[in-house]
Structure 1
């Protein structure tokens, strides 16, 4: 069933970490003259934070988690669960959640699992952690969500490299019988998996000498089969049709008033797409914040990063209502309704 109600769980805090290193669209070699300006105008992206060699998503998630644990005053022994949601995993084996558990010094009794999802990952991650906590057998959890897309994309691919940036986030979640329920609408369609895919990135199509060859598919699009590829028009049509429908279904199923929501927090695909969704759902501009201009599309990390970078002063420790919606690879898409009371939202960490 696509609809879930999860009671007794609240988000206690959010922290986000991004690389210090910034790359602007104007300096990219994949663009022909004049193309950078067109992309900036269409997507809203002016720059992104790009991780250096040797730094990956789990590093930024670990930094965010350490800072958040300290800020909340949580004893590490009290953390029962760690879920890592990302397609940027350190290894195929072992799972990255366990690696992070070791780095953080969490107890050996801590439940650890990877959820390898991209742009819909924050909403799906909330459903996974919420389901684990809701009965009260586990009391505290860390949801670590983010990606370093620049590690799995070609720098010479003008369709993907300029729009993506890197980040890692941490959300602290807790069992609490006074919490308002979280409401979910979760969807997927694997028949359209080819829309966003890195063909030679797993065991189905192993990496070979042939798959590592860089191929020019068209001017400004050079990549190999280990890199992510996207059917841009297919993803666009999917998004503007499926996403508004998903959010409307969420509200209709749970008898939620869309007009009572303070914020619609969308995955930062690009500003043109998100504006289409906003207008379809008739939200005001100030209700739909964007961080894409500064950070680009950070895949599963965009929703918490938007909260920390754009509306922190309005929501830190204050009650608010929001709908969150993520959509992308899978294809998968999901929306969540949340009534928050007093989430601790930290300023974005540059590391």
Structure 2
């Protein structure tokens, strides 16, 4: 599905990360594999270190800290936010929605639209879709999109397939109307027949968590996890990305009447370095135009990888220069989502750290 918008911009992005760094070399003994094989995987996938939240840190803690940073530094006023979209797969509760808890804790006005989106890898893109739709209404002037997850809480430390790449954290993007009436080109497809390629089997109403679902087992590849833990069918997801992301990008370029060379950056969700390098090679895109270093430095934080990519890799460029970018989210669902848009100069790009003492105070 292709659909378009006119005259919307991202005016601020704040990425919030836990202070704790965990290093792949220190985790090798956790895995049921020879260290030599694990180090080969490290080089291939780009594993180095990842940010992992403490067990008592909630996904909402990152967003509360992010909002307080925005308000303290006068980047935006509380009453300016007319809608708040919270995208997570790590909610504080099943009921109520976490967006309302955050709204109260940070003091957002009551005359506001608040809702949660359950989305992961394409979560930032889906948040932008919703914000763009909302901004079509003149009553809504500014929308805050927050993404955060603490997926390390749901990954087994003995699972070499998933634990080395997972990262925690959050991001807040402020989206508003732009005086420059540039067109935004959007694309989305859903492949629900492969939804369980990335899943947490137990914990929902279909299979509630029990003592039995908490028992560890070893899969056919030697990874150890329980049914309460995140599982990814790596080969299936890799094939999905390599087959369908190029089709999505070609469709967006056709709609926008642009060539690949006219795009300054391809800012995609980052599952790992290997997958993005192979994707860039297949699409004949120079590696410097498709950054792939987020997992290496921070881990795969699901919906935060795209805004974190902008803050980490484009901070000086995006603050000074307008950029034409292609954003791409792909994974959980399985979902395929993309946007071609102009990033106008973004004066506020921040990467801050959530102190563990702060997280304890927000319980």
Q: TM-score band, normalised by the shorter chain?
A: over 0.9
Other-structure match for 1:216: 218
Q: What is the SS of the residue equivalent to 1:348?
A: strand
Q: Give the one of 110, 119, 132 matched to 1:130.
A: 132
Alpha-carbon offset, residue 86 of structure 1: 1.4
Counterpart of 1:300 in structure 2 is 303
Q: Choose which of 95, 114, 117 in structure 1 pairs with 2:116.
A: 114
User: 2:197 maps to which residue?
Assistant: 195
Partner of 2:350: 347
Compute the displacement of 1:297 (Å): 1.1
Contact 2:185 2:256 in 1 (8 A): yes
Determine helix, strand or coil for the equivalent of 1:128: helix
Q: CA shift at 1:178, angstroms?
A: 2.9
Of 73, 92, 97, which residue of structure 1 is paired with 2:99? 97
Q: What residue is the counterpart of 2:25 in the other structure? A: 26
1:163 maps to 165
Task: For 1:153 and 1:235, locate their aligned partners in 2 and report how far apart those are by CA, in whole Å.
Answer: 18
Which of 312, 315, 333 matches 2:315?
312
Cα deviation digits, residues 132-183 of structure 1 (max 9, x gap): 1123221111100132210111111110011111110000111234342321
2:219 aligns to what SS in structure 1?
A: strand
Residue in 2 aligned with 1:16?
Answer: 15
Consecutive unaligned residues in structure 2, runs of 5 or more? 355-363
User: Secondary structure of 2:228's match?
Assistant: coil
Deviates more, 1:131-140 or 1:60-69: 60-69
Instruction: Give yes or no for the alignment of 1:270 onto 2:306.
Output: no
Asked whether the 8 Å contact 1:83–1:112 carries over to 2, the reply is: yes
Aligned to 1:284: 286
3-state SS, counterpart of residue 101 of structure 1: helix
Give 2:331's aligned residue: 328
Task: Say whether the 8 Å CA contact 2:13–2:350 is kept in structure 1.
Answer: no
Q: Deviations over 1:79-100 (max 9, x none)?
A: 1111011111111111111111
Q: Which moved more, 1:160-169 or 1:35-44?
A: 35-44
Question: Once superposed, which parts of structure 1, at least 4 consecutive aligned residues long, lie more than 6 Å away?
Answer: none
Q: State the TM-score, normalized to the length of structure 2.
A: 0.92
8 Å contact 1:68–1:172 — kept in the other structure? no
Say if 2:230 is the partner of 1:228: yes
CA distance in 1, matches of 2:77, 2:314: 28
Q: Distance in 2 between matches of 1:177 and 1:186?
A: 26
Distance in 1 (alpha carbons) for counterparts of 2:113 and 2:171: 19
- 1:233 and 1:292 mapped to 2: Cα distance? 18
Partners of 1:86 and 1:317 lie apart in 2 by 31
1:175 to 151, 174, 177: 177
Partner residue in 2 for 1:244? 246
Q: Is the 8 A contact 1:308 1:345 kept in 2?
A: no
Q: CA deviation at 1:72?
A: 5.2
Conserved 8 A contact 1:315-1:345: no
Count of residues paired in the alignment: 350
* Match of residue 63, structure 1, among 62, 65, 78: 65
Q: Check the 8 A contact 1:7/1:134 in 2, yes or no.
A: no
| TM-score with structure 1 setting the length | 0.95
Asked if the contact 2:185–2:255 (Cα under 8 Å) also holds between the matched residues in 1, the reply is no
From the superposition, tell whether residues 344 and 179 of structure 1 become closer, same or farther in structure 2 (CA, over 3 Å): farther
Q: Check whether the contact 2:55–2:153 (CA below 8 A) recurs between aligned residues.
A: no
**1:199–1:225: 8 Å Cα contact kept in structure 2?**
yes
Change (3 A) 1:240 1:304: same
Residue equivalent to 1:139: 141
| In 1: Cα distance, 2:94 partner to 2:183 partner | 35
Q: CA RMSD in A?
A: 1.6
